[in-house]
Amino acid sequence: MQVIQSPLQAGHEVPFEVARGRPIPPYEVSARVASILAALADDERFSLRAPDGFGPEPIVAVHEPRLLRYLERAWKEWRQVGTTVEAIVPDTILLPGLRDGMGTAPEPESPSGRVGYWCFDTMTAIVEGTYPAARAAVEVALTAARLVADGEPLAYGLCRPPGHHAGRAMFGGYCYLNNAAIAAEWLVRRTGGPVAVLDLDVHHGNGTQQIFYEREDVLYVSLHADPATTFPYFAGYASETGSGRGRGATLNLPLPPGAGDEDYGLALEQALDRIDGSTPGPVVVSLGLDTYEEDPIGPLRLTAGAFRPIAARVAALDRPLVVLQEGGYHVPTLGRNVRSWLLGAAGVPDEPERGIAGAD
């Protein structure tokens, strides 16, 4: 199986995230990719390759062009005003209520104002290497999509930073550009047919849902921890089912905190039934391993042994799969869990797991 990855991801390393009012060490770190690459190394079933270039067109097909311009310029802009900044984080965020009844606000001119116009949280800092990494993650996703469109049954894009929380005109949740949505839209245009997105990250993919909410040709199906108690809090409820022409083309399956393999398996069957009943086309999988029981921020409790059978169930859809990396923050086991998932998706029979350096 082809594994697409870019060394530019390592240039995105934020110094902290602000959570519950405090700066803390970031969870979304490049060591995550090192863990994954180590687990896939020296195994001829995985062929590593670099992404191709696609240019900005597939990005602005799903994102507001001014968001892309903002991300491109943000770091330079802070430098130009002469402010010393370790990382760009908003302190004043455009909550819709602020403009209630008064129409829209213009994009501010100052760097401090601008970041709060585009970014919805305090955990998604911008550093010098952020934009190149985010652009590379998109190329990784599109290269995986192209391989699948050209006939591969399965490709894995090791995207970092992740993407599913980034919406049409906003970013957050460790995400800047929505890799999965960009790949899905590219596939719709390339194949002329429908595409499904199966979001298995523990957090609801609010950005992906938003981008396709009124679309009937992109089915969005997500299993995630209940947003009533888990980020992103403001989207991912079961009552959200799409609107307009997209009515019925969004399916949210929230799970209570603490849910384990069995509850998850039942919800997965519902998710797969929905996809199975839709017009055939490629499936973009937003693969988060933050459903794992040891994940430091995910409240679900999947065991390591669950990932391979979950992936085998997804593969049983018998549709082309573009698997894209989203979250997963228990670095010592992340690579092993990704590897289990990919082998399950590829239909490789069960085998004794290799030891993981540092994990046991």
CA distance 108 to 122: 19
Interacting residues with ligand Q9C between 230 and 249 (CB under 6 A): 231
Question: In sequence order, what are the beta bridge partners of 324?
Answer: 157, 286
CA angle 121, 216, 173 (to 5 degrees): 15
Can you tell me which of 185, 261, 290, 295 binds ligand Q9C, judged by CB under 6 A? 290
For position 146 contacting Zn ion by CB under 5 A, the verdict is: no
CA angle 123, 186, 11 (to 5 degrees): 35
Residue 162 binding result from Zn ion, ligand Q9C, none, given CB thresholds of 5 to 8 Å by partner type = ligand Q9C
Candidate list 165, 203, 204, 330, residue with the active-site label: 165
Is 165 catalytic? The answer is: yes
Alpha helices in the chain (DSSP H): 31-40, 57-60, 65-80, 111-118, 130-149, 179-191, 206-212, 261-276, 307-315, 331-345
For position 157 contacting ligand Q9C by CB under 6 A, the verdict is: no
Angle between helices 307-315 and 331-345 (to 10 degrees): 30
Shortest separation between residue 273's beta carbon and ligand Q9C, angstroms: 25
Shortest separation between residue 123's beta carbon and ligand Q9C, angstroms: 5
CA angle 230, 233, 237 (to 5 degrees): 95
CA distance 235 to 316: 29
Size of the site for ligand Q9C (CB under 6 A): 15
Can you tell me which of 2, 13, 19, 272 binds ligand Q9C, judged by CB under 6 A? 19
Can you tell me which of 51, 157, 246, 288 binds Zn ion, judged by CB under 5 A? 288
CA distance 122 to 18: 5
For position 26 contacting Zn ion by CB under 5 A, the verdict is: no
What mask, x for binding ligand Q9C by CB under 6 A, covers residues 191 to 230? ----------x-x---------------------------
Contact 157, 322 (CB under 8 A): yes
What residues are annotated to the active site?
165
Q: Which residues bind Zn ion (CB under 5 A)?
A: 201, 203, 288, 290, 327
Q: Which residues bind ligand Q9C (CB under 6 A)?
A: 19, 123, 162, 165, 173-175, 201, 203, 231, 288, 290, 297, 326-327
